[in-house]
Chain A
């Protein structure tokens, strides 16, 4: 369960204390804020995906479209795993060095 004492406080502290002018300003600026936030997130995502690409365990099991209905989670097995842990560690070292 979430810590609602904390979450309530965060929420009500903002919504109950904005002036009318601040509400208006927020409404006007929200789309610009969103664009800026998305650019930041895209940068974070690129960094994470770079890391995840080293982290990805390459396991593939191909199924034909005809077999979709007969496929269940229990069929997922014998996945070839390529562990790139050492490369991740290297990446972390580079990140720390930077």
Chain B
């Protein structure tokens, strides 16, 4: 069991958002921050007038579960995942003489039901540039901005709004 955090604009509801769209790094799913401080930071980055931070309990264990991909802390998962992306990109380039987009990679994986059994992925977002209060050493991005995407909604066990800011 792990606790993760979700930030969304305050809407007066108590639902977390299922993210869809072309800018989702790992396709459609429920996206969370692993650390509270980045969930809080995300609300500031998005410049929401008011936002909610949810603490979500998820029935997930990245150390023992086999149906998860952990590209942040598991070296094998990371390099295997990188291999797949670049393999796809090579084939795509051979076929179309162009680079695939993020959305095309995600479309391909989902269109062909590849990795349908994968329940969740952990990955690292880019360093933030516009709010660095959580960094204790200026200019040193020593903290991973870790995100988790859940594809299996039944993993969500409990949802609590912890902050309305």
Smallest Cβ-Cβ distance to B84: which chain A residue: A11
Contact B111 A41 (CB under 8 A): no
Contact B107 A15 (CB under 8 A): no
Count of residues in A whose CB is under 8 Å from the partner chain? 48
Contact A45 B76 (CB under 8 A): no
Shortest B161–chain A CB gap in Å is 5
Known: A7-B80, A11-B115. A30 touches B107 (CB 8 A): yes
Smallest Cβ-Cβ distance to B73: which chain A residue: A1
Task: Please give, as numbers and ranges, the residues of chain B lying within 8 Å of A10 by CB-CB distance.
Answer: 114-116
- Cα of A48 to Cα of B29 in the assembled complex, Å: 13
Smallest Cβ-Cβ distance to A27: which chain B residue: B96
Task: Please give, as numbers and ranges, the residues of chain A lying within 8 Å of B104 by CB-CB distance.
Answer: 27, 30
B18 in complex: contacting residue of A4, A41, A69, CB < 8 Å: A41
Shortest B65–chain A CB gap in Å is 9
Tally of contacts, chain A with chain B, CB under 8 A: 120
B15 in complex: contacting residue of A53, A68, A79, CB < 8 Å: A53
Contact B163 A63 (CB under 8 A): yes
Shortest B59–chain A CB gap in Å is 13
Shortest A95–chain B CB gap in Å is 13
Smallest Cβ-Cβ distance to A26: which chain B residue: B111
Smallest Cβ-Cβ distance to B91: which chain A residue: A15
Scoring B residues 71 to 85 as 1 if CB is less than 8 Å from chain A, else 0, what string do you get? Answer: 000101100100010
Known: A2-B80, A7-B118, A76-B162. A49 touches B15 (CB 8 A): yes
Scoring A residues 28 to 42 as 1 if CB is less than 8 Å from chain B, else 0, what string do you get? Answer: 001101100110011
- Cα of A61 to Cα of B161 in the assembled complex, Å: 8
Binding site for A on B (CB under 8 A): 14-16, 18, 20, 28, 36-37, 40, 55, 66-70, 74, 76-77, 80, 84, 87-88, 91, 95-96, 103-104, 107-108, 110-112, 114-118, 133, 153-154, 156-165
